Amino acid sequence: MATGNLASVVVAVDGSEESMNALRWALDNLRLRPDGALVVLHVQPSPSITAGLNPGPIPFGGPSEVEVPAFTQAIEAHQRRITQAILDHALKICSEKNVEVKTDVVIGDPKEKICEVTANLKADLLVMGCRAFGPLKSLYKRYGFLESNTNFHGNETLQDS
């Protein structure tokens, strides 16, 4: 599928082996125009999305909607370290293939932010890994998760390869 007519390609990575395989596939199979850009995108969940890690209300009459700043700061620092490790891994793969890429990190819900960044960049192609789930999880994930969202918002039909 090598083509030299792509101006912008976004590869979404989340640290999973599937996303890194998608990056390798893009590096091996896609050719950009000379002025084109390959963007490695990572979406870092906001602390509020991170599985409800904020401590619950203080028992026995304490305030119920209190944010604990030190807790939030610790989560944000941890997420920054994870993000840096993911980008370092992705950039190592790119350097092994002698390909220069741009990186972008955004914070929020991945299924929304990946579509948003891809649209804002007017990307010709979005590449991302697909996790192999069993039949029950596959049925569940098709209703409202990332692959469904990107298929719905994309301008072109997507195919598994």
In this predicted model, what pLDDT tens digit does every residue of 101-145 receive, in sequence order?
A: 999 999 999 989 999 999 999 999 999 998 665 554 444 444 444
pLDDT of residue 64: 53
d(CA 16, CA 86): 9
- The SS3 assignment for 128 reads strand
| 75 inside domain | yes
pLDDT of residue 4: 73
CATH number, domain of 49, equals 3.40.50.620
pLDDT of residue 29: 94
| 151 inside domain | no
| 159 inside domain | no
| 41 inside domain | yes
Domain tally, the chain: 1
pTM beyond 0.85:
no
| 117 inside domain | yes
| 113 inside domain | yes
| 155 inside domain | no
pLDDT of residue 97: 94
| Mean pLDDT, the chain, integer | 79
- If residue 34 lies in a helix (H) or strand (E), which one and from where to where? strand 32-44
91 lies in which domain range?
A: 6-56+68-132
Nearest residue to 125 via CA among 157, 161, 89, 98: 157
Cα 44 to chain centroid distance, Å, stands at 8
| 150 inside domain | no
In a structure prediction context, what are the per-residue pLDDT tens digits for the chain, which is 161 residues long?
455 789 999 999 999 999 999 999 999 999 999 999 999 999 998 876 554 555 555 555 555 555 567 777 888 889 999 999 999 999 999 999 999 999 999 999 998 999 999 999 999 999 999 866 555 444 444 444 445 455 444 555 444 44
